[in-house]
């Protein structure tokens, strides 16, 4: 719910009074964001703001990382987060931890 509030606040600041129709959000796979719960919270929090009625377009970003031992890149579909080449567990996360408002669609 606090995340939904934050999204509505960010959208409101950037909209500057214009009616927002769509909010594009990027969410990394390693985040514990449940899309249906976030969408529900977003709709409630948006009520009575210029964001009311806007669609929350949520795009999930798959996780990927780079092995600190062998340097290989791996897709990380689930836990354990493990290098596909050498099996190492010490990975630098490249993608999958995102949580940001990418853009807004508005009427003017």
Partner 1 sequence: MHRTAVKQVVMEGVLDANDALAQSNRERFDNAGNYVVNMMSSPGAGKTALLERTLERLRGKLRLGILEGDVQTTLDADRLARFHVPLVQVNTDPGFGGECHLDANMVRSGLSELPLPEIDVLVIENVGNLVCPAEFKVGEDSRVMVYSVTEGEEKPLKYPLMFRSADLVIVNKVDLLEHLDFDLEQFLGNLDAVNPGVGRILASARTGQGVDEWCSWLERRKG
Q: Which residues bind partner 1 (CB under 8 A)?
A: 1-3, 5-7, 9-11, 14, 21, 25, 30-32, 45, 79-81, 89-90, 99-108
Q: Minimal distance in Å, beta carbon 73 to partner 1?
A: 19
Q: Rounded to whole angstroms, what are the CA distances from 18 to 22, 49, 103, 107?
A: 12, 10, 14, 6
List, in sequence order, every residue forming a beta bridge with 26; answer none if it has no partner.
59, 100
For partner 1, the closer CB: 71 or 90: 90
CA–CA separation, 94 and 92 (whole Å):
6
Both structure tokens of 12: 């409101």
With respect to partner 1, which residue has the nearer C-beta, 31 or 84?
Answer: 31
The residue (of 21 and 71) whose beta carbon lies closer to partner 1 is: 21
Distance separating alpha carbons of residues 24 and 36, to the nearest angstrom? 15
- Least Å distance between CB 21 and partner 1? 7
CB of 18 to partner 1, least distance (A): 8
């Amino acid at each position: 719910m606090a995340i939904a509030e934050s999204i509505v606040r960010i959208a409101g600041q950037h909209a500057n009074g214009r009616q927002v129709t769509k909010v594009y959000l990027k969410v990394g796979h390693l985040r514990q964001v449940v899309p249906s719960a976030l969408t529900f919270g977003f709709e409630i929090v948006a009520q009575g703001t210029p964001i009311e009625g806007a669609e929350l377009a949520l795009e999930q970003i798959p996780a990927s990382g780079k092995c600190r031992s062998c340097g290989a890149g791996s897709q990380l579909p689930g836990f354990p987060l493990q290098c596909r080449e050498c099996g190492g567990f010490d990975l630098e996360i490249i993608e999958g931890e995102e949580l940001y408002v990418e853009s807004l669609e508005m009427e003017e």
